[in-house]
Structure 1
């Protein structure tokens, strides 16, 4: 059963803001071009990737710098199957084959790392190396994976022989993202989630209370890999092109920055950070041209210094501070009133 933290309370400013953001995303295709709809669809797939990493990093304290490997694995297996094995239904590829393939990869890697109790910086470095290896391997297999030229012409998802339009693909990506967020919110608000936070806070103490921390970490790591696989699969069908950088350490580290900016360990912060930074990437590159990366760097530094808990954490602290001040003022007014009545 989920705790009160996982419940949706539309009376709080945070929940109202989330609902407003969701409504804005739902209405977005009505106000932008088809090309922009496709661009925003890719933003949503990256947001799902960020969400999968925040589950691991934000709730178990394990920083993974190689999750792009599983994102890219889902993209590549989708590209190969949709182009060369049309007998397999598209929905099965996106929602079964791709996440299962990515989950098997994370399960194998996680079993190896957690059996050896690898954690901290060693865990981050190992996952980073895995991502680098995956990118290099994809670049070498020219005949099978297209090498560094990648695979072009990945078809859009078809349902009962009908190919989804850009807008339909957008709403599908949005539905997957929202569904994943709600599922993870229930998960981290449950007893299972409390164990994850216990592992993040003090793994040895959590083990002392009888919890198999290796099993919990392996389950979460595998689940996050499956989510990354779905995100990569959707990206392949939306963008129509996959290449080795999708597996590489650059994307992996970029996503970590998105989460840090949005707010680690909040789930919604990962989604917000991913969409915000991707939007700024596109906007600033058009406005500042040669200086847009410098602008983003300034933003990152400002957030790290001014809001260590990310933008969502800063906003949450601000709202709580205002609410506390209002409550204190109200209690003061009541007290003064009581004295006058006496």
Structure 2
């Protein structure tokens, strides 16, 4: 499929699924060119293709708008050798670190928290007030059914165009933070005693999740510039003893590395071929330097093997405690564990977002 055909197909899918509705404006040519890393002429060719099919129409000095809802279509469904996996024991040290980070006179470096002056706190407060007034019966709903507000899911589908998507609406599960999303993914694909490949050095909270779930960590060397070593992961997974891979490919914590696209593509292909589930933390994906948002590993997933986790804690407010996971083929297991462990995420916050 040519590049303009792929873009046209993705936009057609968003329209046919109802996430872009009649009369709504498509992303601008400039934005599509930037997000999808395509030339302006390729984007224009894709839009003209959709226009010829009667799906969209051009309005002078306004852009392209949805003209017709198409029939619904089915969702697409040389490094050091890694050492032996070891049990994780970090919880008590973690608590001491977190407590030390809130002491007077100590720089708060124990957790990645944006400065409050950078956050749209006043706008969020107004939105909370507005949502409560307009939806007087919102808190009367059941907490274990209809957990994912379709309006928020729709916005996530639209945003996923910038992640090389679009992702399918039925992939998403709304969670109480990115941390809960990561925990749900681990529960969905592992059992106590299983081995999980992790970045070394890696984010301490991920190690705590492994400890709580009785999982073993296999350290994979991580480069400050290119992220987790795909070569080392290749060696580690040859014997079939690794169940999952847990990583932060965009702005890895603590190194800050961004894995090159080719490495992400190789990692997605390697893990799919060997049956190693990928749990991707993309919570820093929107906090990029430069003109292009780095694509997640999920952008190169061809089999539904990658679970993309994120939240709004770094770009809107950590107090919202709302995250999500695009679960691929594991979505059903994720939804089940979410239902059992915590039920629906706060419906008011979902509407505010």
- Normalised by the shorter chain, which TM-score bucket? under 0.3
Considering fraction of residues, name the structure with more strand.
2
Which TM-score applies when normalising by structure 2? 0.23
Greater relative CO (CA pairs within 8 A, separation 6+):
1
